[in-house]
Amino acid sequence: MAPLIDNAIYVDGHRVESPASLDETYELMEARDGLAWIGLYRPSPDELDSVAAEFDLHPLAIEDARQGHQRSKVERYGDTLFVVLRPAHYDDDREEVDFGELHLFVGPDFVITIRHAESPNLAAVRHRLETQPELLALGPEAILYAVLDRVVDEYEPVVAGIENDIDEIEDQLFGVSDDDALSRRIYELFGEVIRFGRAVQPLNAVLEWLQRGYGKYGVDLELQRNLRDVHDHVIRVGDRIEGFRALLDKALTVHSALVARRQTEASLAQNDEIKKISSWAAIIFAPGLIGTIYGMNFDHMPELHWTFGYPMAVLAMLAFAAGLFLIFKKKRWL
């Protein structure tokens, strides 16, 4: 994919030019009193240096844009805002949240968007604004709002995907399941929820910071309302994430308790089987011992030549067996 995705100059909310290169954009900006929106995808160092030189972007912001792996944040360098956003996409098959990274430079007459992943779909954002010229005419802040709105809207499918997986986990908790696999699933999903929270929570501070500058920088009233609506969505998503963390934490606790109970029940059942086996072994052993003694065929065994020797031996074996059976039965080993 080419680094320069889309490039346009807008006047009063309408696209008037679509430059094919950065150099052409710079020339047309001098000729027209408009707003430039430059969309870049994983730009090269030379391209970053080019826009940095043209728009006098701060070196620290350019360094962050070049390195990536930033948390959501907003910083002001003179009359330019540098905003970092973390769009997200939920892969339901892997039960993982894939994070992108989006950098915005918002100046008085320009917006530069730098994507480091496929998400979010900024083409859809641009199309929305171009079909609402009255919104786009409000300036760079309108583009910032629309991008923020898109990023936050894409959090909703992530929330829905996680919620669906939590519902499945709750069904598995009290059903027949592989304990090791379920423990792993809960733990890994818990980790994804924490990562998602780390991407979403800083947005609260970003939006609060932007709201504090409404009066100072003369942000349009309608944009203020729209940004407050985005902030409300972020707060709701943050609340849902906290709820997911609590549910998964409880699920781990309940699962551990259920596993411990099943192990205890299995151990008790095993002990009962051992008692039964031991009882029957003892019952069989007593008659076997008597039979073994009289099966030695020694010459000097008085009972061998006694008339009642055989019936007494049989009765002794039966008596021992019956006595042990009654004893074990009373102890509930049988």
Place of tokens 């990023």: 151
- pLDDT of amino acid 299: 66
Contact 219, 213 (CB under 8 A): yes
Reported as half-sphere exposure (CB side, CA atoms, 13 A), residue 72 has a value of 25
Instruction: Tell me the DSSP string of 148-164.
Output: HHHHHHTHHHHHHHHHH
Contact 47, 38 (CB under 8 A): no
Contact 237, 151 (CB under 8 A): no
In order of 126, 137, 293, the CA distances from 108 in angstroms are: 18, 13, 109
Query: What tokens were used for 311?
Result: 């019936």
The one-letter amino acid at 158: V
Distance of CA 142 to the CA centre of its chain: 31
- pLDDT of amino acid 288: 74
- pLDDT of amino acid 1: 46
Q: Which of 232, 3, 202 is nearest to 84 (CA)?
A: 202
> Which parts of the chain register pLDDT below 70?
1-3, 175-179, 263, 265-269, 272, 294-301, 303-309
- pLDDT of amino acid 298: 64
Dihedral angle at the C-alpha atoms of 323, 328, 330, 332, nearest 10 degrees? -160
In the chain the domains, ranked by start, together with CATH numbers, are 1-153 (3.30.460.20), 267-330 (1.20.58)
Residue 12 is given by DSSP the state T
Q: Tell me the C-alpha distance between 125 and 226, whole Å.
A: 15
- Which residues, 6+ apart, have CB-to-CB distance to 177 below 8 Å? none
Query: What tokens were used for 181?
Result: 């696999």
- pLDDT of amino acid 284: 77
H helix or E strand, kind and range, residue 236? helix 221-294
φ, ψ for residue 35, nearest 5 deg: -115, 125
Contact 189, 165 (CB under 8 A): yes
Q: Say how many Å lie between the first and final Cα of the chain, rounded.
A: 76
Q: What is the model's pTM? A: 0.75
